[in-house]
Amino acid sequence: MHSKPDRSIEAGRRERLRIRSRDFSGPTAGLAPGNVQSNLVILPQALAHDFLRFAQANSKPCPVLAVSEPGDPRLPMLGEDLDIRTDLPRYRVWRRGELVEEPPDISHVWRDDLVSFALGCSFSFEHALLEDGIELRHMTCGSNVPMYRTNIPCRPAGPFAGPLVVSMRPLKPGDAIRAIQITSRFPSVHGAPVHIGLPAAIGIADLARPDYGDAVPIGADELPVFWACGVTPQAVIAQVRPEFCITHAPGSMLITDLVNSKLASL
Amino acid sequence: MHSKPDRSIEAGRRERLRIRSRDFSGPTAGLAPGNVQSNLVILPQALAHDFLRFAQANSKPCPVLAVSEPGDPRLPMLGEDLDIRTDLPRYRVWRRGELVEEPPDISHVWRDDLVSFALGCSFSFEHALLEDGIELRHMTCGSNVPMYRTNIPCRPAGPFAGPLVVSMRPLKPGDAIRAIQITSRFPSVHGAPVHIGLPAAIGIADLARPDYGDAVPIGADELPVFWACGVTPQAVIAQVRPEFCITHAPGSMLITDLVNSKLASL
**Three-class HEC string of chain A:** CCCCCCCCCCHHHHHHHHHHCCCCCCCCCCCCCCEEEEEEEEEEHHHHHHHHHHHHHCCCCCCEEEECCCCCCECCCCCCCCECCCCCCCEEEEECCEEEECCCCCHHHCCCCEEEEEEECCHHHHHHHHHCCCCCHHHHCCCCCCEEEEEEECCCECCECCEEEEEEEEECHHHHHHHHHHHHCCHHHCCCCCEECCHHHHCCCCCCCCCECCCCCCCCCCEEEEEECCHHHHHHHHHHCCCCEEEECCCCCEEEEEEHHHHCCC
Name the nearest CA neighbour of B244 among B65, B48, B69: B48
Distance (Å) from the C-alpha of residue B55 to the closest C-alpha of chain A? 21
Task: Give me the pLDDT at residue B149, please.
Answer: 96
ipTM of this complex prediction, to 2 decimal places: 0.84
Q: Structural domain of residue B163, as residue ranges?
A: 123-233
Using a CB-CB cut-off of 8 Å, the residues of chain A touching B184 are 181, 184
Rounded Cα distance, B254 and B248, in Å: 8
pLDDT digits (tens, 9 = 90+) for A75-93: 999 999 999 999 999 999 9
Task: Give me the pLDDT at residue B2, please.
Answer: 47
* DSSP one-letter code for B261: G
Q: Smallest Cβ distance to A196: which of B173, B181, B266?
A: B173
Mean pLDDT of chain A, nearest integer: 94
Instruction: Say whether both A25 and A112 belong to one domain.
Output: yes
- pLDDT tops 90 at residue A248: yes
Instruction: Say whether both A183 and A196 belong to one domain.
Output: yes
Which of B60, B164, B169, B177 is the mutation pick for testing A, counting most A CBs within 10 A? B177
- pLDDT tops 60 at residue A3: no
Task: Give me the pLDDT at residue B1, please.
Answer: 42
Q: Smallest Cβ distance to B180: which of A180, A195, A197?
A: A180
Instruction: Say whether both A196 and A229 belong to one domain.
Output: yes
Determine, yes or no, domain membership for B264.
Answer: no
Task: Give me the pLDDT at residue A72, please.
Answer: 97
Instruction: Say whether both A19 and A109 belong to one domain.
Output: yes
Say yes or no: A265 contacts chain B, CB-CB below 8 A: no
Q: Which of residues 150-179 of B touch A (CB under 8 A)?
A: 172-174, 176-177
Instruction: Say whether both B149 and B71 belong to one domain.
Output: no
pLDDT digits (tens, 9 = 90+) for B73-112: 999 999 999 999 999 999 999 999 899 999 999 999 999 9
Instruction: Say whether both B130 and B229 belong to one domain.
Output: yes
Instruction: Say whether both A141 and A55 belong to one domain.
Output: no
The single-letter code of the amino acid at A253 is M
Q: Smallest Cβ distance to A221: which of B173, B193, B198?
A: B198
Determine, yes or no, domain membership for A94.
Answer: yes
Determine, yes or no, domain membership for B185.
Answer: yes
Task: Give me the pLDDT at residue B4, please.
Answer: 60
Rounded Cα distance, B30 and B13, in Å: 15
Q: How confident is the model at residue A2 (pLDDT cuts 50, 70, 90)?
A: very low
Q: How many structural domains does chain B have?
A: 2
Task: Give me the pLDDT at residue B198, please.
Answer: 98
Using a CB-CB cut-off of 8 Å, the residues of chain B touching A201 are 172-173, 221
Name the nearest CA neighbour of A105 among A78, A83, A86, A130: A86
Tell me which chain B residue has its CA closest to the CA of residue A221. B201
Determine, yes or no, domain membership for B88.
Answer: yes
Tell me which chain A residue has its CA closest to the CA of residue B181. A181
- pLDDT tops 80 at residue B6: no
Q: Which of A9-13, A102-106, B172-176 has the lowest mean pLDDT?
A: A9-13
Q: Smallest Cβ distance to A196: which of B177, B181, B192?
A: B177
User: Number of residue pairs across A and B with CB atoms under 8 Å?
Assistant: 56
Taking every pair of C-alpha atoms in chain A, what is the biggest distance, in angstroms? 54
Cβ-defined contact of B181 to A176 (cutoff 8 Å):
no
pLDDT digits (tens, 9 = 90+) for A168-188: 999 999 999 999 999 999 999
Element (H, E) at B65: strand B64-67
Mean pLDDT of chain B, nearest integer: 94
Using a CB-CB cut-off of 8 Å, the residues of chain B touching A192 are 177, 181
Rounded Cα distance, B216 and B224, in Å: 10
Task: Give me the pLDDT at residue A26, please.
Answer: 84
Cβ-defined contact of B173 to A266 (cutoff 8 Å):
no
CATH code assigned at B94: 3.40.1640.10
Determine, yes or no, domain membership for A3.
Answer: no
Task: Give me the pLDDT at residue A5, please.
Answer: 61
CATH code assigned at B201: 3.30.2040.10
Determine, yes or no, domain membership for A118.
Answer: yes
Instruction: Say whether both B149 and B216 belong to one domain.
Output: yes
Say yes or no: B265 contacts chain A, CB-CB below 8 A: no
Cβ-defined contact of A197 to B194 (cutoff 8 Å):
no
Q: Which of residues 120-139 of A touch B (CB under 8 A)?
A: none
Q: How confident is the model at residue A133 (pLDDT cuts 50, 70, 90)?
A: very high
Determine, yes or no, domain membership for A4.
Answer: no
Instruction: Say whether both A171 and A228 belong to one domain.
Output: yes
Instruction: Say whether both A115 and A246 belong to one domain.
Output: yes
Instruction: Say whether both A142 and A113 belong to one domain.
Output: no
Say what percent of chain A tops pLDDT 90: 87
pLDDT digits (tens, 9 = 90+) for A13-39: 999 999 999 999 888 988 999 999 999
pLDDT digits (tens, 9 = 90+) for B109-122: 999 999 999 999 99
Q: How confident is the model at residue A1 (pLDDT cuts 50, 70, 90)?
A: very low
Residue A75 has φ and ψ, to the nearest 5°, of: -140, 70
Determine, yes or no, domain membership for A5.
Answer: no
Mean pLDDT of B3-24: 84
Instruction: Say whether both B64 and B39 belong to one domain.
Output: yes
Rounded Cα distance, B56 and A206, in Å: 45
